[in-house]
Structure 1
Amino acid sequence: MQTSSPFIFDARGIAKRFRHAAIFGALEALGEGESMRFVNDHDPLPLIEQLRRRYQDQLHIAYVQRADDAVVIDFTVHPAGTAQGCGSANGTGCGCSGG
């Protein structure tokens, strides 16, 4: 269960060549039940597909706003044992960085 407000990640201020790496790094830093509110200037469909493949059901993806020029998405890490997928046995986040 989420216990605080989502952490804001505004991708618009990050150089395009670094965005995906920065997003994956930010997601790896989330603990179980924590959320990251992702803000972007376009709908990142290729990124969403990468996230679904990498994190499977452990990462919940929920659009907050979906317009042509403004997209806001909440990414929430499911607690261990409540979702199929990568999982982290020690509660330190998703645990996919090694794969």
Structure 2
Amino acid sequence: MPHDCSTPQIPGGIYPFDARGVARRFRHAAIFGALEALHPGEAMRFCNDHDPLPLLAQIQHRYGPYIRITYVSREPGQVVIDFLATGEQAAQ
């Protein structure tokens, strides 16, 4: 049976994204690309080794209400955040 990368492996339309395996210089570009690929109602479950506060500020500025940010875990060394595509557009 072939693998379909467009189908989430976690029920509920949640796609995993482990930033710890992405070179630091590529992380933000990869994260923004992944967020822009989400359809309304889908989420990206982001894992990182630290709390990415500057990145979160960039996401809020860039996407506004289109991306909802929810912490799943804030444990040292394993921060997990869900980014949900809401379908709402940012105010122009």
TM-score calculated relative to the size of structure 2: 0.82
Q: Which runs of 5+ in 2 are unaligned?
A: 1-10
Distance in 2 (CA, whole Å) between partners of 1:51 and 1:8 is: 18
Q: CA RMSD in A?
A: 1.5
**Could you say which residue in structure 2 is the equivalent of 1:96?**
none
Amino acid paired to 2:86: H
- What displacement does 1:55 show? 0.4
**Could you say which residue in structure 1 is the equivalent of 2:90?**
85
**Percent identity for Structure 1 against Structure 2:** 57
Distance in 1 (CA, whole Å) between partners of 2:38 and 2:13 is: 12
The runs of at least 4 aligned residues of structure 1 exceeding 2 Å deviation read none
**Could you say which residue in structure 1 is the equivalent of 2:42?**
34
**Could you say which residue in structure 1 is the equivalent of 2:30?**
22
- CA change 1:37–1:43 in 2 (3 A) is same
1:26-82 CA-to-partner distances (Å, cap 9, x unmatched) read 011111110000000000000000000000111100000002211000000012xxx
Aligned length: 81
**Could you say which residue in structure 2 is the equivalent of 1:93?**
none
TM-score calculated relative to the size of structure 1: 0.77
Distance in 1 (CA, whole Å) between partners of 2:60 and 2:33 is: 15
Q: Which runs of 5+ in 1 are unaligned?
A: 87-99
